[in-house]
């Protein structure tokens, strides 16, 4: 009599098991991609750090720390009565800077040191008042009669100390290509904001070398970049034919843009009256050098540089008109960051498959 094959349930067939596993893996991959998409969407929206943030106070007011309510900028009388100097923490050509205390909070008090530069000091104060935003250090008060400005204190100091800060054990986890690129994005965001500010197109003139640029910006405790020094911020107005010159002395070196250098050769002595003016594209020329400092030499930073090669080459065009806008540079930086985050997530996805 013919023997029948033993009864075997289909769900136990060995060849069916991989199909079930594959379905589970595909579901996991789809879930991972959905989560990544949501993260990148949220991340991209947060990158803007737009100027009209709801956390900002109305003009003439401030708040900081855990305080919820806005207070009027401190007056001369309030500064003299309530602010106590602790120690001098810096001195430049225009002003001396003191770490100070106000209502048990650390603040920064800046005072004019050279009466011949009082116009520069007052210009910086005017810019500070008009440009209050997510990109600019917070103004707490001022006294024009005594040439005094009170601003928020940031303990990590200027960007000159970035590499030293990132080697402190507390901050070593921040020393990644991802975080460094985000700082570069913050820096370019400041330049873009200045080029399209409420006052018009402003040029960051205190930027004749890398060290000088870095000294103009602060590193916040949550690792963002703020512009701090606005003393040299002239206005470009093309419709009125108004261009700028950064100072009245000859500028040298590869860091400054070609149009900022004396164009008539060594045989012709420098004369300020003969020096042609220029526009905000001088700031664009300097972006690759500043970003190179931000990226440092951590794992992955060379890959970031490779992705930024084309936009940086465009920033270094000799003709200012051929350089991209700050908005174009910012858009490219953000796209590169999003791309690299997505690529960093892909190896784990491939391993699951």
Q: pLDDT tens digits, residue range 188-230? A: 999 999 999 999 999 999 999 999 999 999 999 999 999 999 9
pLDDT for residue 12: 44
Look up tokens 């893996």; give the residue.
25
Please give the Cα distance from 109 to 89 (Å, whole number).
10
In CATH, the number for domain 71-153 is 3.30.200.20
Entry pTM: 0.84
| Per-residue pLDDT at 69 exceeds 70 | yes
More confident residue, 4 or 65: 65
Please give the Cα distance from 230 to 217 (Å, whole number).
10
Please give the Cα distance from 2 to 80 (Å, whole number).
110
pLDDT for residue 28: 57
pLDDT for residue 167: 94
CB 118 within 8 A of CB 145: no
What confidence tens digit (pLDDT) does each residue in 232-241 have? 999 999 888 8
pLDDT for residue 79: 97
> What integer is the mean pLDDT of 294-319?
97
Shortest CA distance to 234 belongs to which of 271, 280, 190, 198? 280
CA distances from 171 to 79, 81, 156 (A): 34, 37, 11
What confidence tens digit (pLDDT) does each residue in 308-348 have? 999 999 999 999 999 999 999 999 999 999 999 998 877 55
Strands (E), the chain: 61-62, 71-72, 83-91, 95-102, 105-112, 139-143, 148-152, 201-202, 217-219, 225-227, 235-236
| Per-residue pLDDT at 96 exceeds 50 | yes
Share of the chain above pLDDT 70, in %: 82
pLDDT for residue 215: 95
| Per-residue pLDDT at 24 exceeds 70 | no
Please give the Cα distance from 212 to 230 (Å, whole number).
13
pLDDT for residue 10: 46
pLDDT for residue 9: 47
What confidence tens digit (pLDDT) does each residue in 100-113 have? 999 999 999 999 99
pLDDT for residue 23: 59
Share of the chain above pLDDT 90, in %: 75
- Choices 1.10.10.10, 1.10.510.10, 3.90.1150.10, 1.10.10.1200: CATH for 154-345: 1.10.510.10
Lowest-confidence pick of 17-31, 118-132, 157-171, 245-259: 17-31
| Per-residue pLDDT at 13 exceeds 50 | no
Q: What is the mean pLDDT of the chain?
A: 88
What is the domain partition of the chain in residue ranges? 71-153, 154-345
């Amino acid at each position: 009599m013919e023997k029948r094959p033993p009864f075997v349930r289909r769900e136990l067939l060995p060849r069916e098991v991989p199909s079930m596993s594959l379905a589970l893996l595909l579901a996991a991959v789809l879930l991972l991609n959905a989560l990544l998409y949501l993260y990148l969407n949220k991340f991209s929206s947060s990158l803007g750090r737009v100027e009209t943030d709801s956390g900002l106070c109305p003009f003439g007011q401030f708040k900081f720390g855990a305080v919820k309510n806005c207070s009027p900028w401190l007056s001369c009388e309030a500064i003299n009565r309530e602010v106590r100097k602790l120690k001098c923490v810096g001195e430049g050509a225009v002003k001396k800077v003191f770490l100070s205390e106000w209502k048990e909070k650390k603040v920064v008090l800046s005072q004019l040191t050279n009466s011949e530069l009082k116009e520069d000091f007052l210009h910086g104060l005017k810019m500070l008042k008009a440009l209050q935003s997510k990109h600019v250090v917070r103004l707490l008060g001022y006294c024009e009669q005594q040439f005094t400005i009170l601003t928020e204190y940031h303990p990590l100091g200027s960007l000159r100390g970035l590499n030293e800060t990132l080697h402190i054990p507390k901050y070593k986890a921040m020393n990644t290509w991802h975080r460094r690129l985000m700082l570069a994005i913050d820096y370019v965001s400041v330049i873009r904001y200045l080029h399209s500010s409420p006052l018009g197109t402003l040029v960051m003139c205190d930027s004749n070398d890398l060290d000088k640029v870095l000294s103009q910006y602060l590193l916040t405790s949550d690792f963002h970049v703020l512009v701090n020094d606005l003393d040299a911020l002239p206005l470009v107005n093309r419709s009125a034919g108004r261009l700028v010159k950064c100072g009245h002395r000859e500028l040298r070196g590869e860091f400054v843009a070609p149009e900022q250098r004396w164009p008539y050769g060594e045989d012709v002595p420098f004369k300020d009256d003969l020096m042609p003016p220029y526009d905000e594209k001088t700031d664009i020329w300097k972006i690759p050098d500043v970003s190179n400092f931000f990226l440092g030499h951590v794992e992955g930073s060379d890959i970031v540089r490779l992705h930024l090669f084309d936009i940086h080459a465009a920033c270094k065009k000799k003709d200012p008109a051929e350089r991209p806008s700050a908005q174009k540079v910012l858009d490219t930086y953000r796209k590169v960051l999003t791309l690299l985050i997505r690529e960093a997530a892909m190896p784990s996805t491939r391993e699951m498959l």
